Amino acid sequence: MRNSTTGWLLLAPTLFILVITGLLPFVYVLSVSFFDWNTFAQNPDPQYAGVNNFRRLVFDAAFLKSLWLTLKFTVFVVLSQLVIGFFLAKMLMRDMPLKGLFRTVHTLPLMIAPIAVGATWRLLTVPGLGPIPHWMKEWFDISYILSRFPDQAFATVVIMDIWHWTPLVTLTLMAGLSNLPEEPLEQARIDGASEWRIFWDITLAFLKPVLLTTIFIRLMDALRTVDEVWMLTGGGPGAETRFIGLHIWRVVFPKTDYGYGSAMSLITLYLTIVMCWFLYVAMTGMKDKTR
């Protein structure tokens, strides 16, 4: 009993902070989502709307487009980062000249704030000023104008995110790879297994906990991307890079539509949890199957 009390006492500060910073805002947003509340409406007071805000979401083309773009972006960046990060991790596990320098340079983007990453890429890509449009025109005769061509904007946002966050994947996978037990690998080689079989059945199986954690972190980050994209494209051209975080920001802040914005936030949170859950089940299921 005494141990339990001490435990709760020790946990109390953390629980208090969690309640204040996590639970209460969530409950507040949940309650606001059931109201029509725009402070610039003729009636600026909250009006109870039941589930109408959630119903509106189903028919809101802008929201659905934003959601689709976010999912597309997430799939592109998370998969790319995993593949590139894995190869880089494997490469950095080997002895090679200037390995330390490369590892440091490769990790530098991680230390830059997202807003600064967006600003840097904006300077690189502004037509008439940035070097990328200049050289794209000079070398490939391509008019590279992010603010005009949706495909270029989307691709650039994806590349920027890959550049920014792949080092995190590399570092976590390096940690995982360095902890791989040598014996099963040696045994497999002695038994004549191919490199692909070794990778699929042993390396990947042992890396699953690290992979799962890395994918979760990157998935959640990608789904809530705002700052970099806001700085680079502002969600444009048109709404072609207006991912869900940016869309919610525009609804809640400039448009001051608090009720509807809250409903969007909750649905986005719900989708994130569902996706993570599916991923968890899929990956742990795969693990069981491997056994």
Partner 1 sequence: MMKLMLATSAIALALAAPARADFWADASADLQGVTIRGVSESTPPSNYVKDVLIPEFTAKTGIIVEYETTSWDQMFDKAIKDMEAGSGIYDFVYIEQDIIYSYLARDFLVNLTDMLEANPDLQAPDFDMAAFTTFIDNFRGADGDVFGMPMEAFIKVYLYRKDLFEEPAHQEAFKAKYNYDLAPAVTFDQWRDNAEYFANIDPNDELWGTTVQAASGHPASFYEFFETIAPSFGVYNWGINAETAAATVEKGGQMNSAEAKEALAFWISMLDYAPPEATASTWDEVASTFAAGRAAQGWVYGENAAWIATNPEKSSVVGKVGVMLPPVVDGVMAEAEAGEGYIGYYDGGAFGMPHSSKNKEATLLFLQYIGQPSVQADWAVAGSRVVHQATYDDPKVQAVDAIADGYFTLMRDKGYLFRGAPEFPFHAQVREAVAPFIYEAIVGTMTPGDALDQAAAAAETEMANLGYGGN
Summary count for the chain: helices (H), strands (E) = 14, 2
109 binds partner 1 (CB under 8 A): no
Residue of 256, 226, 257, 253 whose CA lies nearest to 242: 226
- Residues 277, 219: Cα–Cα separation, whole Å: 12
For the CB of residue 36, give the shortest distance to partner 1 in the complex, in Å: 8
Return the residue of 12, 15, 51, 62 that touches partner 1, per CB under 8 A.
62
For the CB of residue 127, give the shortest distance to partner 1 in the complex, in Å: 3
For the CB of residue 142, give the shortest distance to partner 1 in the complex, in Å: 12
Give me the amino acid identity at 162.
Answer: I
- Nearer CB in complex with partner 1: 174/251: 251
- Nearer CB in complex with partner 1: 85/118: 118
Using the contact rule CB under 8 A, the part of the chain among 16-24, 109-117, 205-213, 246-254 near partner 1 is 246-254
268 binds partner 1 (CB under 8 A): no
- Residues 130, 132: Cα–Cα separation, whole Å: 6
Using the contact rule CB under 8 A, the part of the chain among 76-84, 104-112, 138-146, 195-203 near partner 1 is 138-146
Which residue do the tokens 């448009």 mark?
255
For the CB of residue 64, give the shortest distance to partner 1 in the complex, in Å: 14
Spacing of C-alpha 50 from chain mean position: 32
145 binds partner 1 (CB under 8 A): yes
* Farthest CA pair distance, the chain: 78
- Residues 222, 158: Cα–Cα separation, whole Å: 10
39 binds partner 1 (CB under 8 A): yes
What is the helix (H) or strand (E) element at residue 269, kind and residue range?
helix 258-290
Query: How many residues are listed for the chain in this entry?
Result: 291
Could you give phi then psi for residue 166, rounded to 5 degrees? -60, -40
Contact 244, 67 (CB under 8 A): yes
- Nearer CB in complex with partner 1: 176/235: 235
Is 45 in a helix, a strand, or coil? coil
Contact partners, residue 188, CB within 8 Å, separation at least 6: 197, 198, 201, 202
Return the residue of 2, 40, 45, 291 that touches partner 1, per CB under 8 A.
40
197 binds partner 1 (CB under 8 A): no
Return the residue of 121, 218, 257, 263 that touches partner 1, per CB under 8 A.
257
Return the residue of 136, 244, 250, 263 that touches partner 1, per CB under 8 A.
250
184 binds partner 1 (CB under 8 A): no
43 binds partner 1 (CB under 8 A): yes
Residues that bind partner 1 (CB under 8 A): 36, 38-44, 62, 126-129, 133, 143, 145-150, 233-242, 250-251, 253-257
